[in-house]
Structure 1
Amino acid sequence: MDHPLRATLAAELHARPFLKLAESVSLSHYAIYAEQNSSIHETLLHALCLDTGIPLPTEGVTHYSVQSPCGWHLKWECHTEFSTFTFVIPRHDSDYFNDIAIKGVPARWFEQLAGIRFVASRMELLTGASASAARNSLRQWIDGPILVGSNVLAGGQVFCDWSVRPDGFMRFLVIDDGFREEQGGRLLQRLYEIETYRMMALLSLPIARRMSRDLDEIHASLQSLMQSMDARDADCDDSQLLVKLTHLAVRVESLSGSGGRFSASRAYEKLVLARIQELREERIEGMPTIQEFMERRFAPAMETSRSVWARHEQIAARIARAVDLLRTRVNLAQEKDVTRMLAGMERTARNQLHLQHAVEGLSVAAISYYVLSLAAAAFRALHVLSIPFDPELAEGLAIGPVVIAVVAITRRTRGRLRRRDASGEGQFLRPSRQPI
């Protein structure tokens, strides 16, 4: 009875459960980003399973959670652009931020991460006496230039410095002062998601910086072209200006290929801010909270990306308007040229009509002359036959009727030709009703 997608979509709410932690744990988190190799994520997971003896996941899954024989718990998630490997193991000593969470993972597996390891974090969740001891010696474990910390979830504390240490890892120290069930696991997941999504959001920053330089050049060229368009005394070729504007439009359009990256960064930024809100931070005197730290360091970078993309859209719109204005001016100039050409054609046609009338008058005179010449010959022949009339008088009297007759015949012929031309043009313009 159910739709084929019902079970899959309903299970999506429970697809990535939080870790259930009830003791001190050590966590190592990796985010893998390989833009040109989307198959590397499953390849790494299968290689890890084969190297450590854990079962292979079902084909096509996007998340996988399993306990390994080495003692650590693996949580793997495949996202749209990246995948994450999270190793969690119970902690029973005070040698914090070491490799205990990844013991048993062969070095050859880590060698496959060369060039694609995007995030590497180590976290310690401490409870009881070990938590109090670590709180009293924070700088022993987190010695970055800025110590960031806050009370979170009304039951613990988080300390970090957001610095990548020489071993390539960031450090997060979490103190459990009375978390309820699963709060510790949710907190750790929110923390490494904040770092992962933050890094993914910042992928647009290098693009924005390169694009900003390109936009500076395009803006300067556009300003120069607009001044050329506005110069009234400049003898500029509008067609050349239109070609240059088209080239600028192509350059701007080529930058639009980064639009997907900027859109993704805005989505990741929203996730970062949402995860920070979920921490429900309270200030620890003398330390900036995670939210304050991000507002000072992360927010300006995101604002830079947004402003560059907004500037790109504004310049693209300006170029489009300039092209429309110049195209309108070119069309107006073409219409003026066509008007002048039509006026010249009209003058030529009028002159041809006058010439035609003159030719018609000369034709009437010539035809009349030839007809009268023939009539004169006929009259002389009749006079020779002794018919009693004066041939010269008869020829003179015939001039008028002959001229009138030639004029009438000429006009009738011209009228017939005009009616035939009009009838032919109407038939040409009239749509045919016969099937093709």
Structure 2
Amino acid sequence: MLQDHGLRRDIVGEMHLRRWPLIEAPLEIYQIVRLCAADATGADSIPSFRPGGQPLVAGGNRHLSGELGADLRFTWERHSEATCLTLFAQPGTPLIGPALAWAEAMPGEVVRATQIVIVADDATAQPLVDALGYDPAEVVSCCIGGGARIWSDFRIGEQGYGRLTVAANGLHPVELGRAVQAVQELGNYRNLALLGLPVARGQWSRLDAADERLRKIGTMLEEGVATDNAMLDELCRLSLEVGSIGSATRYRLGATAAYARLVQERLEALCPMPLRGYASLTDFAQRRFTPAIRTCEAVARRQGELADRSAQLSALLRTRIETHIEDQNARLLASLESSAANQLRLQHLVEGLSSVAITYYAVALIRDLTGGLDAFGVVVNHELLLAVATPLAFLAVYLFTRRARSRLFAERKNQPR
């Protein structure tokens, strides 16, 4: 018996999600992509489909698929921040009305809804395309997947659905399904990516204001027209502002960049073949989608540059403040050193005077001690004795004081710091 890793089956199952059933013309596909709150993205939040009062769908996890009735299938999947429900209906099935009502009643805000009509060939598709009344200047048409052809203006119709017509042109059902699914994923990821454009535009004026404030702080720092503390306070406020902009845009613009890469990957996988007189999917993306993504990238890049410049200016100002502090400390140390030198000179003077005073008392003591020698019959020349004893006493006191001071300094020098 194999001992599976706890995530093995989830990992393998992930590789089999988001697959459509075989697609054969004629067929109608309805797909709705919604943004949902974090607590409303599970399959348990899906209302049951009840034709005739009997629930046919209920519960699940991240992916559901099955049949809602005769000639009507569905798939549902949960992405990181969105859910996607797709209905596959044979033309004329009576359940399509209730199924659409069920799909439209699900929770979440719709970011894309598409109606896809798949027919056998170009000849069958042309009357349908003419009936849709596409603006010739807006219609996008090209070949995808090795032979299938699509028509769309990628605009929202009166019922809230975008309209896409596909001619299979003999493409195998597996290849046709992959091609149509790739076209849908391209459009879904495109809309999800473009959610970052209003966010980017909304922060542009704040970035302009922050850039101007940063320029003024740099001028003040260069010209020295404000105190260091005032400039540091202004820089702190500016850094908080730039950080607030980053917090407000980081997730959405990061998601936009990720979705844009997925759009590019799907576009490369489809290899659209342009048709004369029509714009292709590549033309549509380069003309409209790419500039929007460049705007989002510019906002993210500019926010990062402002943060870096603010950090550099803060580091420069802190270096300047630290230099001023070091200069103040040097001047303070110089002052302390001068005071210590003066105190040492004063101490030497006091030591000299102390030596004289101690010598005086020592000589007086010698005089008193020798004053009584006459009573023992010892004759002493007191003047000569004091004349000789005075310099000797002074020298002894001086040497003793100097030695004691040297020993004291040596002990202090050897003490651990």
Q: Which amino acid aligns with 1:305?
A: C
- State the 1:275 CA deviation: 2.1
Deviation at 1:65, TM superposition (A): 1.1
- 1:67 aligned partner, one-letter code: E
> Can you give the 5+ residue segments of structure 1 that lack an aligned partner in the other structure?
94-99, 430-436
Change (3 A) 1:408 1:13: closer
Contact residue 205 and residue 302 of structure 1 kept, 8 A: yes
Match for residue 32 of structure 2?
A: 30
- The equivalent residue for 1:155 is 147
Shift of 1:389: 3.2
Question: How far apart, CA to CA, are the structure 1 residues paired with 2:316 and 2:153?
Answer: 54
User: CA 1:14–1:107 in 2, change beyond 3 Å: closer, same or farther?
Assistant: closer
Q: In 2, Cα distance between the equivalents of 1:394 and 1:282?
A: 130
Say if 2:236 is the partner of 1:246. Answer: yes
Indicate yes or no: 2:270 matched with 1:306: no
1:161-184 per-residue CA deviation (whole Å, 9 max, x = no partner) reads 111123211111112222223233
Q: 1:127 is matched with which residue: 120, 125, 143? A: 120
| Mean CA deviation greater in 278-287 or 66-75 | 278-287
User: Does the alignment pair 1:176 with 2:178?
Assistant: no
1:220 maps to 212
1:90 is aligned to 90
User: Secondary structure of 2:69's partner?
Assistant: coil
RMSD: 2.7
Match of residue 103 from structure 1: 97
1:197: how far off? 0.6
In 2, are the aligned partners of 1:53 and 1:68 still within 8 Å (CA)?
Answer: no
CA distance in 2, matches of 1:373, 1:295: 113
CA contact (8 A) 1:194 1:276 kept: yes
Task: Pick one of 17, 20, 23 that aligns with 2:22.
Answer: 20
Structure 2 CA distance for aligned equivalents of residues 312 and 219 of structure 1? 10
Counterpart of 2:272 in structure 1 is 281
Equivalent residue runs for 1:17-416 within 5 Å: 17-34=19-36, 36-48=37-49, 53-57=55-59, 59-60=60-61, 62-69=62-69, 71-92=71-92, 102-105=96-99, 107=101, 110-113=104-107, 116-127=109-120, 132-136=123-127, 138-144=129-135, 146-231=138-223, 234-257=224-247, 258-383=249-374, 387-416=378-407
Query: Contact conserved, 1:70 with 1:104, CA < 8 A, in 2?
Result: no
Unpaired runs of 5+ residues, structure 2, are none
Q: Distance in 2 between matches of 1:116 and 1:188?
A: 24
Task: Tell me the distance in 1 between the aligned counterparts of 2:228 and 2:258.
Answer: 43
Q: Which residue of 2 aligns with 1:97?
A: none
Cα displacement string for residues 179-238 of structure 1 (whole angstroms, at most 9, x for unaligned residues): 22323322332222122111111121122112222211111111111111111xx35322
Amino acid at match of 1:251: E
* Residue in structure 2 matched with residue 9 of structure 1 by the alignment: 11
Distance 1:6 1:74, change over 3 A: same
Does the CA-based 8 Å contact 1:379-1:395 persist in structure 2?
A: no
Q: Is the alpha carbon distance of 1:279 and 1:410 closer, same or farther for their aligned partners in structure 2, counting shifts above 3 Å?
A: closer
Deviation at 1:135, TM superposition (A): 0.4
Distance 2:275 2:382 in 1: 140
Tell me if the contact between 2:48 and 2:56 (Cα under 8 Å) persists in the aligned partners. Answer: no
- Mean CA deviation greater in 11-20 or 217-226: 11-20
Task: Tell me if structure 1 keeps the 8 A contact 2:359–2:394.
Answer: yes
TM-score, normalised relative to structure 2: 0.89
What TM-score do you get using the length of structure 1 for normalisation?
A: 0.85
The residue matched to 1:20 in structure 2 has which SS?
Answer: coil
Distance change in 2, residues 1:101/1:332 (3 Å): farther
How many residues in Structure 1 have an aligned counterpart in Structure 2? 412
Percent of aligned pairs with the same amino acid: 26
Question: Offset at 1:75?
Answer: 0.7
